[in-house]
Amino acid sequence: MTKRLSVAPSARRLTTSLRDIGYSFESAVADIVDNSIAAGATNVDIQIDFDGRDSTVLIIDNGDGMNDERIDEAMRFGSRRSYKDQELGRYGLGLKTASLSQCRRLEVISRSERAPLQARVLDLDFIQDIDDWVTLDHSDEQEAQELSALLKGEPGTIILWKKLDRLLPVKSPESGWARRRIEGLGPKLNDYLSMVFHRFLGGEAYAKVAICVNGKKLEPWDPFVRDEESTQMLDVDEFEVEHGEQSDTVTLKRYLLPQRSDFSSREAFEAASGIDKWNKQQGLYIYRADRLVQWGGWSKIRTIDEHTKLARASLDFNTRLDDAFNINVAKMRVSLPSQLRKMLSRPVNELCIAADAAYRRENAKKAKTEEFPADTASSFGGSDSGEAIGLALRTAAARTGNFEALNAISKLLKDEMPELAKHLGFD
């Protein structure tokens, strides 16, 4: 008989490695909010409190809560639980890896309907000492009982981060700089969660959730500013993607945002720029089960460009296609399947051509005769007709798959007939 040997990993070493899986503070909190939504929560309250080395991050939800069996499974690295379609969890790691990426001590307090209060603690310092995969049952501890008052006697879960070694400076956790750093986390988190969960905040997703950060209720940030009258939505496209035995439909919705002068107000224009500002916010917004997992850029379909900064598109896929999109543990990055990237090339290029044309029209308004002297424009049939011809050529090239050929023609014209190239919008 073949002898079997246990090769369980070192808890001390692996927990240390898992801290560097790639979370930012904002994405770590978002992963916890995923769990709250999966638990049926309608309210999530996040509190960031500076108290020197005793600073904490507290996340409270009114979801279903957990009994003793469920909370023990939730604290397991690589939970054995299965995930349903459209459920935001995937690997059974998020609670632990997200939390420990920011702190050394994770406390979970939960109450489910008709079940006693449960509290568990995962402390890296303790694991370092014993080198074993253990959690501590603190259900009868006074602190857990006191914190449970935040649940107001109803089902729900409290996540408490302590020993914030990744957020506080090790040498001066009591300093003014440390205070400013902790207090600065709130505004950044507001913007991030407002974007990532905007469908849930706005009631567009399969569940509606209210999120508060330090007492401030978040409003959804719509990347496509659909409340602006001048926003244009192009045709909706659907693509069938196959991966192994799984197949499902992926939906693309394309939007051309208004020019600055067409926004309802300057404040609305500035708000629409997003957390990474206009140029970096252009591109694909990829949603998994209504949750935004990646945004900005064109996923290797094309490069970002100043002329196309007002082009944005949503791409929706179901959890059944997780393997096809190769979603990572932190749910911050996906890879487009190669078959899908090819199918997206035409509609993405069409959107960018339209954005480029709109950009040039806006610039032409600002300096008509300065950029196109009357004699030059008339010799080629007028500036408006030139832009129309250029746009038609780009569209035709995109639809026929001859975009590279058009680029070669454009380069030749710019070299040998610069005035004509400029007139057609090829500059």
- Output the DSSP codes for 164-180: -TTTS-SS-TTSHHHHH
Using the predicted structure, report yes or no on whether residue 384 has a pLDDT greater than 60. Answer: no
Is residue 56 very low, low, confident or very high in pLDDT (cuts 50, 70, 90)?
A: very high
- Does one domain contain both 168 and 39? yes
Looking at the fold, whether 153 and 181 belong to one and the same domain comes out as: yes
Mind listing the pLDDT tens digit for each residue in 329-368? 766 678 999 999 999 999 999 999 999 999 988 888 766 6
Query: Domain check: are 47 and 170 in the same one?
Result: yes
The answer on 170 and 70 residing in a single domain is: yes
- On whether both 208 and 302 belong to a single domain, the answer is no
Residue 120: CB atoms within 10 A of its CB come to 21
Q: What is the mean pLDDT of the chain?
A: 88
In a domain, 109, yes or no: yes
Residue 403 pLDDT class (50, 70, 90 cuts): low
Based on the fold, state whether residues 45 and 194 are members of the same structural domain.
yes
Q: Is residue 5 part of a domain?
A: no
Among residues 355, 390, 405, which one ends one of the domains? 355
CA gap 103, 154 in Å, rounded:
27
CB contact set of 84 (below 8 Å; sequence gap of 6+) = none
**Per-residue model confidence (pLDDT) at position 73:** 93
Mean pLDDT check: name the lowest of 5-9, 314-318, 324-328.
5-9
- What digits encode the pLDDT tens for the residues 86-101? 555 555 678 999 999 9
* 338-366 helix and 383-400 helix, angle to the nearest 10 degrees: 180
Say what the alpha-carbon torsion angle 318, 320, 323, 329 is, to the nearest 10 degrees: 70
pLDDT at 252 over 70: yes
Say if 295 falls within a structural domain: yes
How far apart are alpha carbons 173 and 415 in whole angstroms?
A: 61
Give the residue from 385, 399, 386 showing the smallest Cα distance to 353: 399
Give yes or no: residues 125 and 42 share one domain.
yes
Question: Looking at per-residue confidence, does 364 or 238 come out higher?
Answer: 238
Count of structural domains within the chain: 3
- Domain boundary residue, one of 330, 355, 380: 355
How high is the pLDDT of residue 377?
42
Residue 380 has pLDDT above 50, yes or no: no
Lowest mean pLDDT among 73-77, 274-278, 394-398: 394-398
Amino acid residing at 162:
K
Band the pLDDT of 417: cuts 50, 70, 90.
low
Specify the CATH number for the domain of residue 87: 3.30.565.10
Cβ-in-10-Å burial (0-12, 13-18, 19+) of 291 comes to: buried
Of all residues in the chain, the percent with pLDDT exceeding 90 is 69
Give the model's pLDDT for residue 394: 74
Do 175 and 134 share a structural domain? yes
Whether 222 is in a domain gets the answer no
Least confident of 18-32, 71-85, 120-134, 202-216: 71-85
224 inside domain: no
pLDDT of residue 90: 54
| Boundary of a domain, candidates 303, 332, 355 | 355
Question: What is the reported pTM?
Answer: 0.84
Both 133 and 188 in one domain: the answer is yes
Share of the chain above pLDDT 70, in %: 88
Q: Which domain holds residue 305?
A: 232-355
The answer to whether position 6 is within a domain reads no
Whether residue 260 is found in the same domain as residue 298: yes
Please check whether residues 49 and 163 belong to one and the same domain: yes
pLDDT digits (tens, 9 = 90+) for 181-234: 999 999 999 999 999 999 999 999 999 999 999 999 999 999 999 999 999 999
- Residues 185, 47 share a domain: yes
Rounded to whole angstroms, the Cα distance separating 21 from 182 reads: 22
Please check the confidence at residue 425 and state whether its pLDDT lies above 60. Answer: yes
- Residue showing tokens 């409270």: 60
pLDDT tens per residue, range 309-321: 999 999 999 989 9
- Distance between CA atoms of 42 and 61, rounded to whole angstroms? 8
Answer whether residue 8 is part of any domain: no
Q: Which residues contact 116 (CB under 8 A, 6 or more apart)?
A: 139
Per-residue pLDDT reduced to its tens digit, 61-71: 999 999 999 99
DSSP 122: E
Least confident stretch, 57-66, 157-166, 320-329: 320-329
Instruction: Give the three-class secondary structure for 93.
Output: coil
Asked whether residue 2 is assigned to any structural domain, the reply reads no
Count of beta carbons in the 10 Å neighbourhood of residue 245: 5
